[in-house]
Structure 1
Amino acid sequence: MEDNKGLVNISEHDQPGRLRRLLLFTTASWRLNLAGAMEFRFSFLLTVGTMIVNNIVWIIFWGMYFRRFPVLNGWTLQDVMMMWAAAAGGFGIMSVFFGNATRLASLIATGQLDVYLAQPKPVLLNVLISRMSVSAIGDLVFAFFIFIGFGDVSLLGIIKFAAALFLSGLIFIFFCVMAGCLSFWLGNTEGLSFQLFNALLTFATYPTGIFKGFGRIILFTVIPAGFISSMPVSFIREIDLPFVYGALGMAALLCAGGILLFYRGLRKYTSGNMMGLRR
């Protein structure tokens, strides 16, 4: 009995060490991804710059619109700019730091999870952080520039914007994880997963004030883009507590659902008999 208690105590005391090793592993993966992306500097800068320019085109469009119509159902140009910052920043967090979230369906369907299952790391985390989207770095840079140009750059404003990006990133990541996990049960759902992700990304960049009735319900349930696009008026401009509780609840639900679906689905996973090495 004493030995068993001792083992339990050792395990409990080792928890900080395990968390530290996991953090070191995660940051090391991110550093390797970035080093690989920057191997060809000109290509890296061109890719990032192209994405920034692509986003600026949309900003110009909205700027022209609000020059003629200063208010859209209570939304101002500043609100729309911050909506784009929240959406681009959340997407950037997912694609830069958890880049395989949008490729999960393909990895499952083609049996490419084998290499991750053979490693003594949390499988889902290992899968998600093993890839980085270079172009999405442009989205992150764009989000910060928009915040500096149109946001409240006070301490409170920075905290609120950081919280908005955190919630937006969680929604993007685990919505894509849940969509990708459908491949465990339905076969190759890469196309369906992409369409669901594209719907989330598209509707996250339109003011929720223009949607009414059933469409608005969909945007706060099935495709939770409303929680991202509403950030400027319901959290960044002024805190609407029911919205904040709803956003926190949706983020927590997606996190729990994504993790549960992945590990339940992993029991059904069929190995692709693939041999591979990761650095």
Structure 2
Amino acid sequence: MSTEDKRFSGIVSFVIATWKVNLASAMEYRLSFFLLAGMMFVNNMIWLFFWYLFFSRFPVVRGWELSDVMLLWAVSAGGFGWASVLFGNFPRIAAIVSSGQLDVYLSQPKPVLLNVLSSRMSVTGAGDFIFGLLVFLWAGDLSPTGCLLFALALLLSGVLFIGVMTIAGSLAFWLGNAEGIASQVFGGFVSLTIYPTGIFRGAAKIALFTVVPAGFIGYMPIGLLRDFDPWFAFAAVGAAAGFGVGGRLMFRAGLARYASGNAIGMRN
């Protein structure tokens, strides 16, 4: 086995061990875990109920039907869910950098960004992920092709969430306290991914597929799951890869100018 293979194997083993520790820590308080995950599941179901009431009055809105909106929530919540469970620190990068907590990760011989992202598990994210799977089982195409496309949609959705928030959080390297900006980006991005892209027009729609790539998540129920569009699929894969790589490069550039916060601490 070459040196690169050993290094890659070591990183994979480290990440898997981190996930196991995160899960063990979350399951230490099982009642709290199930309550938090369950509350997020119920919260998402309430939103779907409102959409049900809306589409019972207006069955088709700009080509969107209730089943499409259900799949939109499945893709958005499911993608956000797995990203939050496996890489739960992605919304907190700005806070970690500006508060000096990054020192703890710099002292460890592991890839810093991967270490930061994987060191936390969001309990509520488990509820989002389970919600997404159940909604797909309810309203989605359960054929092998349909399941593979849904898995691809979840992967792209989660990578977009991580990439966008890594870029937003990395602003803290240059701006100092960028928690407010990152929080606004996070809230706006999540909100834009749960509304059908058909309701947006003009400059707003262009922005959704460029500056804020929420449009790629919002259009997946149509362009990927209902009527597969190879051009859209190619663009969505490119956007996820672009924002993912962009986040990594921006974090690395910021890390080169990072000054220690003189924080003394240990990872929980």
Measured against the shorter chain, the TM-score band is over 0.9
Whether the 8 Å contact between 1:199 and 1:223 is mirrored in structure 2 is no
Given candidates 5, 9, 14, the residue that maps to 1:20 is 9
Given candidates 150, 168, 177, the residue that maps to 2:139 is 150
- TM-aligned CA deviation for residue 110 of structure 1: 1.0
- What's the secondary structure of 1:50's corresponding residue? helix
- TM-aligned CA deviation for residue 40 of structure 1: 1.1
- Paired letter, 1:247: A
Identity, in percent, stands at: 51
The superposition leaves residues 215-255 of structure 1 with CA deviations (integer Å, 9 ceiling, x where unpaired) of 10111111110000100000011211221121111111111
Take 2:262 and 2:158, find their aligned partners in 1: how far apart are those partners? Answer: 33
Other-structure match for 1:212: 201
Quick check: 1:258 aligned with 2:247? Answer: yes
Other-structure match for 1:56: 45
Take 2:254 and 2:153, find their aligned partners in 1: how far apart are those partners? Answer: 30
* Structure 1 residue ranges without an equivalent (≥5): 1-9
Given candidates 210, 220, 228, the residue that maps to 1:221 is 210
- Paired letter, 2:52: G
CA RMSD of aligned residues (A): 1.0
Is 249-258 or 155-164 further displaced after alignment?
249-258
Query: How is 1:131-210 mapped onto 2 (pairs within 5 angstroms)?
Result: 131-210=120-199
Take 2:183 and 2:59, find their aligned partners in 1: how far apart are those partners? Answer: 35
- What's the secondary structure of 1:230's corresponding residue? helix
The superposition leaves residues 161-207 of structure 1 with CA deviations (integer Å, 9 ceiling, x where unpaired) of 00000000100001000000001111111011010111110010000
Max radius of gyration: which structure? 1
- Paired letter, 1:40: Y
Other-structure match for 1:4: none
What TM-score, normalized to structure 1?
0.94
Take 2:69 and 2:113, find their aligned partners in 1: how far apart are those partners? Answer: 34
What TM-score, normalized to structure 2?
0.98
Take 2:89 and 2:182, find their aligned partners in 1: how far apart are those partners? Answer: 13
- TM-aligned CA deviation for residue 14 of structure 1: 2.4
Is 117-126 or 91-100 further displaced after alignment?
91-100
Take 2:5 and 2:151, find their aligned partners in 1: how far apart are those partners? Answer: 26
- Paired letter, 1:196: V
- TM-aligned CA deviation for residue 15 of structure 1: 2.1
| Number of aligned positions between the proteins | 268
- TM-aligned CA deviation for residue 24 of structure 1: 1.1
